[in-house]
Structure 1
Amino acid sequence: MPNLASAVAALHDYCGFPAARVRTDARRLIEDKLIEPGGPGIAVEITQADFALLLLAVASGAPLRAVADRTVELFNCVPNGVDVGAMPEAIRPAKRTAFDLLHDLVWSPDTSPVTAVEVCENWPEVTFHTRDGVVRFQPAGALAGHWSGSKQRRATTVPASAIALAAKHLFGEQQ
């Protein structure tokens, strides 16, 4: 199982995020119990789910005081802000979140249709670029296709190939 230091190195080497920022965001996620802490003298072990959470946290660009809250918001975003829980059970599709799609990319990068992941820094939105177009994941109930703020949109885009290389480096023997 890879540890936190190897995950920090992978996000720095393959995705280009500053190592100090990755370590600081990881510490915030551990403090807020989103990532399981290690014990005394035992390094923090990182799973594929933890790696996906850490990637969302770092790409969000959120201030350190709000990085865990923003990560949870991004984690729960749904396609076009449509809450499938409000649909009748007979026609309800399976609920997919931004975390599910990102986790699939980390778990099996060779079969994922995603070509890039774009995380908006101004408001909670994750956009997945595919060969067929884009899919925007927003909080349930958000007005799809509209700016969620009055300022210019600022986002971080990470190529899926970089995420795949980092995932293969960390979890290659497990996949």
Structure 2
Amino acid sequence: MAIIYKKCTKCGSKNSVKIDCGMPGYERSREAEAGKMNPDYSCNDCGHEWNRKQAMDEAYGKIKIIKASVGGYFGGYYDVTVDFDNLQTTWSFNEGETQKTSKRSIQVSTSQAFIEKLKMVNLLNWKANYTEVGVCDGTHWSVEIFTVERTIKKYGDNMFPLEWELFCKSIGRITNRKFH
């Protein structure tokens, strides 16, 4: 799932138009300097206006749970669940007979900071599949994103999104455990 920037953040309609203002005049430049966001889109159905940042905030705000796993036959598997509704993380590591598990409560501010990291790694705009053709062994990973509306799945075998390392560091930070 990629973020649909043209989807109205108020009514959900896709019947919108991109606002093309050209060069901003003095008034719009002053508003931008003052931190007021200028709209990029306008809804033809309800008249609401919004910008790309607001569309991104809306999409990431709908995430309820993230489940991520990574590992391989010789290195074991890491599994993590980040539950935004219950403000809790669950981390586990499995390798053969060895299994370790850890649960951690998190603060609202921690969950919000993690959402900001997810925006930075562009998680919702990752491709669905990153697979190196012809390689059967190695590192496998998956990320399931449970939102208000649906479940989004991303996965790969021996290939990763460009932002993978930052994603793994962010998972490690929120769980206070290793994830790679």
TM over 0.5: no
Q: Which has the larger radius of gyration?
A: 2
Larger helix proportion of the pair: 1
Indicate the structure whose relative CO is greater, using CA pairs within 8 Å and at least 6 residues apart.
1
Normalised by the length of structure 1, the TM-score is 0.29
